[in-house]
Structure 1
Amino acid sequence: MKRLFSKVINSKWFQHPIFWVLSIYVIGDYFAISNFLKSVDFYYALLFHIPLFALVYLNLNLLVPKLLQKGRYFIYGLLAIALIHLAYGLHELTFEFLLPLLPLEYYMVSFTDYEVLVTVFLIYIVLTTLLKLSKSWYKLQRVEKEKLTIELDSLKAQVNPHFLFNSLNSIYSLALSKSDQTAETVLELSNLLRYMLYEVSEDEVSLSKELEMLENYIELQKLRSDISTQVRLNIKGDLEGKMIAPLLFFPLIENSFKHGVKGVSDSAYVDISLNVEDGIVFSIQNNKGVIDDMEDGKYGGIGLENVKRRLALIYTGKHEFKIEETEKDFKVKLTIK
């Protein structure tokens, strides 16, 4: 019902009649022959609007879309002046030739001089042009917002599906060995999937909830890592009341496990730090795996590009994203102001 109401309100079939009814009332009141509006005033206002209708709709449907919105300002200005004078001529024809043909009991003449008429026509052409441009701008903003929403949803969905496949394989291995960790691991994966599927539709989620899911994510990633791999998570500051875009840190952690700990057994590590004392500072550092474990020999890949794009869309001008790389280590630091 709300959607239907909004559609009706935004429809030109609703907005235009409202505009013209108000316009007729204002013109009738402005040119009224007494302190009170009479029927003759509305008849006069209706006749007065004949050139206004032509002026407005020729401008809105021809001059604005064909010239003004395409940057042809000089030609638009010339034709707008010509259109105003055309409306003036139509006004004179209406009261000189059309009015005597109408079976009205009133005798009316146009007592408006040239300067007043041109001023009124100019006001209408400027007003309706601004309304047209503002509505076009609003529609453009809405389309851009919808495009951004679609893109953000797509980026959220890019958390590597291979992670799910590998996690299920790891759980299968635990089940075969009758490990006591099997049930707990299934629960961790279930909670994580429920979070990804149902709880990240909002623009922001609580940082404490995101951290809880990150811990589940890390535990599942550790199943695929060598037992000697050192994984450390350090939290500093109060998370209460802090909000963050969902799934923003996940690709960074996935990147560290994917490219860092594979292929190395004795020196593999992942250090994760979250500091919320002054803004939100998330950093993650890991050793480098062998070259075969990197995508095209380049560290980062799709995961980092995903994060960069989401940051650009969500935290425009409010973030800092740094990558430091040495022969043995790789570090990413994200600061959200």
Structure 2
Amino acid sequence: MIREFTYHITEQDIQKAPSGALLTIQGFLKSLGYSHSVIVSLKRTPQGIVKNGVWARTGDVLHASDTLQIRIEETLSSANIVPIPLPFPVVYEDADLLVINKPSGMPIHPSQGNYDNTLANAAAYYYQQKKEPFIYRCINRLDRDTTGLLILAKHSYSASLLSQMVANRDIHREYLAVVKGKTELSGVVEAPIGRKEGSTIERQVDFEHGDYARTIYRRLYCEGGYSLLSLSLDTGRTHQIRVHMNYIGHPLPGDFLYCPDYTKIRRQALHSYRLSFLHPITKEALSFTAPLPDDMRAFFTLQNIPLR
């Protein structure tokens, strides 16, 4: 994989340097979100950093009208990830990122007991078929049984930018969930979440030791003792939606931890429905949706449920 960028240095760029300081290549790259590790990698890449057609050092000074060319080259694929032909529904792909509609029952990372059934295995196979190297970089997390949209970065620079966007909450996510009972038309759950004592995975609302968590929900439809909710998160705690909905008395059916009712569904009824963000490189506004999965739609007889 090779990704090249060309920057034409302007007087405005020069003025971004700290007062009285010269603008170095390293300072310029850091201002664009290149991480330390990416810059180190560029130093080791043949023709990784070129100023005005000549190989350059990161400490070299930039002037207005200079041309800086950056070459990101990745020739190796992620080690120890076995390519397996698994579902890998690509919603969007360009030179910098992919958006995937993850199926249920698929962990995003290999772990003990999950070596060949993960999204990483599916990605490795997808790129093996294209005869292209690919380092697996999953940007946002979804639980094994949660379906829907997530982002994979295709190179180190886009990964650096996207990770920072996640930290700054610049990637906006909307979830759909089926919950038990008829909820209020809308509401906010503001309750701290912490690990349940004695469990490595289960979480609970814990006002004494938990971390601040806030979930906003809106009821889209209600039928037969179940509500379909749209939810957004102001925080990103583990199991946040599942714990908060259970806390207010509206758990997600099929949730093996918090509501093991498998009458209508065999997994927690949770779906990452929408992702909206600015493209990390082009700054184009992007927004993607993934249809409500059949096993969640089956709770309701109405075929065209309004999802907005």
Q: TM-score, normalised by structure 1?
A: 0.20
Which is strand-richer, 1 or 2? Answer: 2
Q: Which has the larger radius of gyration?
A: 1
Which is helix-richer, 1 or 2? Answer: 1
